């Protein structure tokens, strides 16, 4: 039974900036001659020392002492090892690992099967590995088609194929997972919501119903009856919803506007408040069409007060240096594109953005991160080897 995630509305950005595309890396590859005069390419382990820039759950950005940027994946390490490492931004660290071409290459079958129950048979592991590799192949094909600007229909077809394979994998793994599953008690599950921290008390009748529904859901999940388990899940949250509303009360208009750093006149604020409140009401009633209409109205009123990021602020996000000649051209194109976006002349603005990125893309390419799948980490004199 999954706990719901609180939804929050984000203010739509008026200015859309493109994304640089990563291309396959050749670093770290070496050609090896074989006895039959053919050749294969193998990835050699590399050692990088540098300072941690940013830390993520499964990796980190590293500024190497060689001046290059790296993304280090910790997929091969356990959560316990990462906890012991106690990584901190600015810390110096040494990493050994192999270069990969794409972020998806970090998630290998060996990484995937570590999360599976130990009882999975060799026969089933063989089937799973074959399907896993089929998905990886389809992912590569999707990336290639996106690069070629394939149609949505072609890409959707690939995703449908992937979903079918995921479903087949789930049929194999689910019985093992359910056999090993130790569900929380109802009391533990409810406690995790944090109702007690906000002094929210569930009345006795609701608590009794919730407990019975939860325990029925556990039995249905254990038996593999997913359809009826989902119905029980819905019943459970229908009873719990009023308490969740108290736990996560909707943000008032005034609270929302506190986080919006815009100079909006009182007249416009007076128009925005009822639209905001009605949009929230439509959301709660699951009236998607009305909710979207109202949020669009809200954004139309607020958008004239949103100031686009200046060229200097936008460029300050990049660590690399740009030549004075290119900088001058980029500034002109950026300001023209922003002005055209403001007038909603998107056809002409796109031409300017294309020209902008034609100049900027080589800088992204020259400064892109090398992707390293770590197998050994040394920090504070302590060595950690991938499990």
* Residues above pLDDT 70, as percent of the chain: 89
Name the pLDDT band for 18 (thresholds 50, 70, 90): very low
| pLDDT at site 38 | 34
| pLDDT at site 102 | 85
Chain segment 114-167, per-residue pLDDT in tens: 889 999 999 999 999 999 999 999 998 888 888 777 788 888 999 999 999 999
pLDDT of 304 over the 50 cut: yes
Chain segment 329-380, per-residue pLDDT in tens: 999 999 999 999 888 899 999 999 999 999 999 999 888 889 999 999 999 8
| pLDDT at site 25 | 32
| pLDDT at site 3 | 53
| 22 vs 54 pLDDT, higher one | 54
Structure tokens at 19: 């994304």
Name the pLDDT band for 23 (thresholds 50, 70, 90): very low
If you average pLDDT over residues 201-207, what whole number do you get? Answer: 96
If you average pLDDT over residues 74-97, what whole number do you get? Answer: 91
| pLDDT at site 135 | 95
pLDDT of 278 over the 90 cut: yes
Mean pLDDT of the chain: 86
* Residues above pLDDT 90, as percent of the chain: 65
pLDDT of 19 over the 90 cut: no
d(CA 95, CA 379): 9
3-class secondary structure per residue, the chain:
CCCCCCCCCCCCCCCCCCCCCCCCCCCCEEEEECCCCCEEEEECEEEEEEEEEEEECCEEEEEECCCCEEEEECCCCCHHHHHHHCCCCCCEEEEEEEEECCHHHHCCHHHHHHCCCCCCCHHHHHHHHHHHHHHHHHHHHHHHHHHCCCCHHHHHHHHHHHHHHHHHHHHHHHHHHHHHCCCCCHHHHHHCCCCHHHCCCCCHHHHHHHHHHHHHHHHHHHHCCHHHHHHHHHHHHHHHHHHHHHHCCCCCHHHHHHCCCCCCCHHHHHHHHHHHHHHHHHHHCCCHHHHHHHHHHHHHHHHHHCCCCCHHHHHCCCCCCCCHHHHHHHHHHHHHHHHHHHCCCHHHHHHHHHHHHHHHHHHHHHHCCEEEEEEEEEECCEEEECC
| pLDDT at site 44 | 54
Which of 338, 315, 309 lies closest to 327 in space, CA to CA? Answer: 315
Q: Tell me whether residue 238 is exposed, middle or buried, using C-beta atoms within 10 angstroms of its C-beta: 0 to 12, 13 to 18, 19 or more.
A: exposed
Which residues lie across from 377 on neighbouring strands? 95, 384
The upper half-sphere exposure of residue 305, i.e. CA atoms within 13 Å in the direction of its Cβ, equals 18
């Amino acid at each position: 039974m999954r706990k719901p995630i609180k939804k929050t509305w984000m203010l739509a950005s008026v200015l859309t900036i493109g994304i640089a595309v990563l291309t396959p890396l050749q670093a770290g590859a070496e050609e090896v001659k074989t006895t039959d005069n053919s050749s294969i390419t193998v990835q050699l382990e590399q050692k990088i020392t540098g300072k941690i820039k940013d830390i993520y759950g499964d990796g980190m950005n590293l500024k190497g002492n060689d001046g290059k940027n790296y993304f280090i994946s910790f997929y091969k390490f356990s959560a316990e090892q990462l906890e012991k490492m106690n990584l901190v931004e600015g810390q110096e660290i040494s990493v050994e690992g192999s270069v990969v071409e794409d972020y998806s290459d970090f998630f290998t079958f060996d990484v995937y099967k570590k999360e599976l129950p130990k009882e999975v048979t060799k026969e089933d592991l063989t089937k799973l590995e074959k399907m896993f590799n089929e998905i990886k192949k389809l992912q590569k094909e999707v990336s290639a088609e996106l690069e070629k600007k394939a149609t949505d229909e072609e890409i959707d077809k690939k995703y449908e194929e992937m979903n079918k394979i995921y479903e087949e994998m789930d049929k194999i793994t689910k019985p093992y997972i359910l056999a090993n599953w130790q569900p929380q008690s109802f009391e533990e599950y409810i406690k995790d919501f944090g109702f007690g921290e906000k002094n929210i008390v569930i009345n006795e009748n609701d608590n009794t119903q919730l407990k019975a529904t939860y325990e029925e859901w556990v039995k249905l999940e254990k038996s593999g009856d997913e359809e009826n388990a989902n119905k029980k899940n819905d019943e459970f949250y229908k009873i719990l919803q009023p308490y969740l509303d108290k736990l996560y009360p909707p943000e008032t208009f005034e609270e929302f506007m506190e986080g919006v750093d815009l100079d909006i006149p009182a007249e416009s604020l007076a128009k925005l408040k009822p639209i905001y409140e009605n949009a929230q009401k439509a959301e709660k009633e699951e009236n998607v069409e009305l909710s979207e209409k109202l949020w669009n109205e809200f954004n139309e009123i607020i958008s004239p007060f949103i100031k686009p990021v200046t060229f200097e602020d936008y460029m300050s996000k990049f660590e690399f240096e740009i030549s004075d000649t290119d900088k001058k051209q980029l500034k002109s194109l950026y300001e023209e594109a922003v002005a055209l976006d403001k007038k909603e002349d998107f056809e002409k603005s796109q031409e300017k953005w294309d020209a902008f990125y034609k100049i900027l893309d080589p800088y992204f390419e020259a400064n892109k991160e090398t992707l390293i799948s770590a197998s050994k980490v040394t920090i504070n004199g302590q060595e950690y080897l991938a499990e």
